[in-house]
A = this chain, B = another copy of it.
C-alpha cells in the first residue's frame, strides 16, 4: 500500500499513520517528495482494505499495490485451470459452447432444443427453471418442474445441465439436478449465495455484475474459491453504459485482460451481452477471436414464442451456422471447438 498524504499534513499526521502501519504488523518507509509526503507500507496485508488508510486524518489517498484477491490470481497459480463438466473439459485448448433456451418451458421444448444443440456441437445445455425477472408480473420460471425436464434432457442426450441458482435456500434442490450452477449478473454481489455455491463442489459459472469492475468480479470469484470450490468459470455478459443500440455493452477486452490476471477460464454470453439476435453470431466469433474459452448462448426453436428474452434468441439452424463459423475462427487462432 502506498499512502499519499494531503499537502497540508503535519508531522503529527505522519507519525499517526506510521503508528497505524506498525499496529497492523507492517513496516513503513517515509518518502519526502517535492511537495508531498508519501508513506510506503511493506507487508502483504490484503485483508486491510484501502479505506482503512483513507479514513486516517491527513491521508489524501491510499493506493494498493497488490491485487485484493489471491486464490484467483495468476501470480499464485500460473497454469490455466481446466474444469471438468461431466465428461468434457472447459478451459485449455478446447473451446466449449453451452446453449439452450432462456427459460425451460415444457418437456418437449427442452428435449427438442437439447437434441438440436447437441447435434451442432454444444457441450452442455442451459435452461432457466428459476428466473430473475425485472417485473413482478413476468413469468418467473417453472421451478422444480423445470429442473426435472432438464434432467430428462440430460438422460436423453448426455449433455451436462447448466441452470441458474437465485438463492442459497435453493442450493440443495438445484444441486441435486444441475451439473453446473450459474450465478447471474444480478447476484454477483449476493455474497451469501457465493458462499453457498463455494461450499458446494459443483462447477459454477459466475456472471459479471453489469456494473462490476474487474477487481469486484475477481473478488466475487474469490468468495467461491475461498469457500472451497475451485471450479469457477468467469462469464462476461455485457456492462451497463450509455449505449442504447444494444441492451448492454459487451466488453470483449475483458477476456484477454482476465486471462492475464487469473488462471480461471473465461467465457462470453453474446445473447444477453447484446440483447439483439442479429449481433449474436458476429459477437460469438469476436469472443473466440479475443481468446474466450467458451460461449453461452440462447437458442430457441421459435424465438417469437419464447416466454423470455425472445429478441436475443437464435434458432437451432442459426446456432448450427454459428458453430460452423465460429469453429473456423477458433481454428484460425490455433484452438479447437
Contact = CB atoms under 8 A, between A and B. Distances in A.
Interface of A: 2, 4, 7, 20, 29, 31-36, 38, 40, 42-44, 46-47, 49, 51-52, 54-57, 63, 65-66, 68-69, 75, 132-138, 140, 166-169, 186-187, 189-194, 210-211, 213-216, 219-220, 222-223, 226-227, 239-246, 249-257, 260, 273-274, 276, 278-279, 282-283, 285-291, 303-304, 306, 309-311, 313, 325, 328-329, 331-333
Contacts of A69: 135
A44 B137 CA distance: 13
26 contacts: A35-B44, A35-B66, A38-B65, A49-B135, A52-B310, A54-B311, A136-B219, A166-B191, A166-B192, A167-B168, A167-B190, A186-B190, A239-B249, A241-B249, A244-B244, A249-B253, A253-B273, A257-B279, A282-B290, A283-B290, A286-B287, A286-B289, A289-B289, A328-B333, A329-B332, A329-B333
Contacts of A4: 65
A40 B31 contact: yes
Contacts of A253: 245-246, 249-250, 273-274, 276, 279, 282-283
Contacts of A57: 304
Contacts of A137: 46-47, 68, 226
A329 B245 CA distance: 26
A107 B88 CA distance: 53
Q: Copy number of this protein in the oligomer?
A: 4
A145 to B, nearest CB: 18
Contacts of A36: 65-66
Given A304-B57, A329-B329, A75 B35 contact: yes
Nearest to A32: B42
Q: Closest 7 A-B residue pairs measured CB to CB?
A: A55-B310, A211-B211, A289-B289, A186-B189, A332-B332, A54-B311, A286-B290
Given A223-B136, A310-B52, A242 B241 contact: yes
Nearest to A216: B134
A6 B250 CA distance: 25
B256 A251 contact: no
Given A31-B42, A243-B251, A286-B286, A219 B134 contact: yes
Given A34-B44, A285-B289, 12 more contacts: A33-B40, A33-B65, A52-B310, A55-B310, A55-B311, A69-B135, A135-B222, A246-B253, A250-B253, A282-B289, A285-B333, A329-B332
Given A46-B137, A51-B311, A186-B189, A283 B63 contact: no
A246 B257 CA distance: 9
Contacts of A133: 191
